[in-house]
Amino acid sequence: MKTAAFTPMRLLDPLFTTDPMREIFSDAQRLQRMLDFEAALAGALVMAAIAPASVLPAIKSQCKTDRFEFAAIAREAALAGNIAIPLVKALSSLVAREDTKAATFVHWGATSQDAIDTGLVLQLRDALELIEEGLANLHGALSRLAETHETTIMAGRTWLQQGPPVTFGLKVAGWLGAIERHQTRIERAREQAMVLQFGGAVGTLAALDGRGLEVAAALAHELKIALPELPWHAHRDRLGEVATTLGLLVGTLGKIARDVSLMAQTEIDEVQEPAAPGRGGSSTMPHKRNPVGSAVALAAAIRVPGLVSTMLTAMVQEHERGLGGWHAEWETLPEICMLTAGALGQMTQTIEGLEVHPEKMRENLDVTHGLVLSEAVSFALAAKIGKKQARQIVEEACRQALDQRRQLRDVLFERKDVTDQLSMQEISQLLDPNHYLGSAGEMMKSVLSPSRKPRKKAKRDSSSRGSSE
């Protein structure tokens, strides 16, 4: 196996991505997927009776990465401008050793970009399947967390300032709702992008003598991907959509991570990332538990937008096949997939094992001595004496409570302009956070409702992921 040396784990891989995604975008798989294309092409040429059936065994048997010298291909690619040229050359030589006639039909009618792009599509199929599985897992974890904390009360926070209460369940339901929308988006992007690239030198399949579409159809069928209306060598919107769709997902993962890490601040301590031996330790502060999962997701949320902008900028590709833009994608799109997988994996682990401190949530709700519920009083008063006057009274009372470090309730009890309108019992109730949750419960239910059709957990069909040998 010459392959092994070419799929090593790098130092930061386990932190920033997952093993399966790293494997999909390893050099070995990059080549294997191109070889899958070449093997399937041979099959398609035979089906279209362009090549004799006899050429198949010789070609298919060589379409395995372990037959190739990676370093030599890499070096030649630096001169040729892409890896398909040396790969096809090496494949032809290998096949020729067995069967010179078969060698003629290697890559017949195709251009480098056909092999590279279709190979990428096959890698993306695996990648999106992984992401969908990951999303299903995160979805499950979030659903459970939301249900568990349906009534766990905590401070709502806006502009990093405390506001009226929410439930932790509602907050989690918000994360969940976004994840569901991403599931829909990824399905759509997948449908758009899982298409064959096969056009020959300039997209006309001229070398196939007018039988190009027949070969293309057979090839798409063999590879189990769709046949597009036209080759899309210089039209990269489908790949761009994969990038933007993952970019949107990573934005949400970053948002969840930001929330988790803010709640995990030492002073707030409402949640902690899961504990595990070696996890989140600090080299100098033995008691600390660093939110490693959040750090990874936040890092991805900082990195992926720039990579997405690269994919969009790269779309301006010249004529039938472009210069530079295409090259700019080769490492960028895999990087997006790997960072997405890493962030998704880390946040899933984080959510699955999240330590939640409901008592601390409740405690934090009291740090303002009731001020976060001033809105409740304000609205109750407004309904009686008008908003403007109500707001003035409440603002005064709040300031008093702040200055004197007293409970808002006690201040309100003393104000005749308040007690004229509201009884002490009414005031107490208004300042009870459990009575100021509005429609939180109902809203959550609509997200968690079991009647909503559950998105099936993607099952990995291993047969479709292996090499097509």
Task: List the catalytic residues.
Answer: 282, 321
Using the structure block, give the residue that is written with the tokens 């069928």: 221
Nearer to a copy of itself, 380 or 458 (CB): 380
CB of 459 to a copy of itself, least distance (A): 26
CB of 466 to a copy of itself, least distance (A): 21
Within 10 A of 229 (CB to CB), how many other CB atoms are there?
A: 6
Question: What is the Cα–Cα distance from 33 to 117, expressed in whole angstroms?
Answer: 10
Site for a copy of itself in 225-264 (CB under 8 A): 228-238, 240-241, 244-245, 247-248, 250-252, 254-255, 257-259, 261-262, 264
CB of 407 to a copy of itself, least distance (A): 13
Structure tokens of 171? Answer: 């907050």
Site for a copy of itself in 428-467 (CB under 8 A): 436-440, 442-443, 446-447
Annotate each residue in 75-104 with x if it binds a copy of itself (CB under 8 A) or - if it does not, as one string: xxxxxxxxxxxx-x---x---x---xx-xx
Task: Report if residue 275 touches a copy of itself, rule: CB under 8 A.
Answer: no
Site for a copy of itself in 354-393 (CB under 8 A): 364, 367-368, 371-372, 374-376, 378-379, 382-383, 386-388, 391
Task: Report if residue 12 touches a copy of itself, rule: CB under 8 A.
Answer: yes
Site for a copy of itself in 389-418 (CB under 8 A): 391, 394-395, 398-399, 402
DSSP 369: T
Task: Report if residue 217 touches a copy of itself, rule: CB under 8 A.
Answer: no
H-helix or E-strand spanning residue 154: strand 153-158
H-helix or E-strand spanning residue 355: strand 355-356
Return phi, psi of residue 162, to 5°. Answer: -65, 140
DSSP string, 163-217: EEEEEHHHHHHHHHHHHHHHHHHHHHHHHHH-B----TTTSS-GGGTT-HHHHHH
Task: Report if residue 286 touches a copy of itself, rule: CB under 8 A.
Answer: yes
Q: Which of 49, 53, 74, 424 binds a copy of itself (CB under 8 A)?
A: 74
Beta bridge partners of residue 355, listed in sequence order: 272
Contact window for a copy of itself (CB under 8 A) among 136-144, 298-306, 413-421, 456-464? 298-306
Site for a copy of itself in 154-193 (CB under 8 A): 155-166, 170-171, 173-175, 177-178, 181-182, 185, 188, 192
CB of 85 to a copy of itself, least distance (A): 5
CB of 187 to a copy of itself, least distance (A): 11
Residue 109's alpha-carbon distances to 42, 114, 199, 219, 456, in angstroms, are: 10, 10, 8, 12, 41
Structure tokens of 122? Answer: 């096959």
Task: Report if residue 347 touches a copy of itself, rule: CB under 8 A.
Answer: no
Task: Report if residue 201 touches a copy of itself, rule: CB under 8 A.
Answer: yes
Question: What is the Cα–Cα distance from 398 to 391, expressed in whole angstroms?
Answer: 10
Question: What is the Cα–Cα distance from 240 to 245, expressed in whole angstroms?
Answer: 8
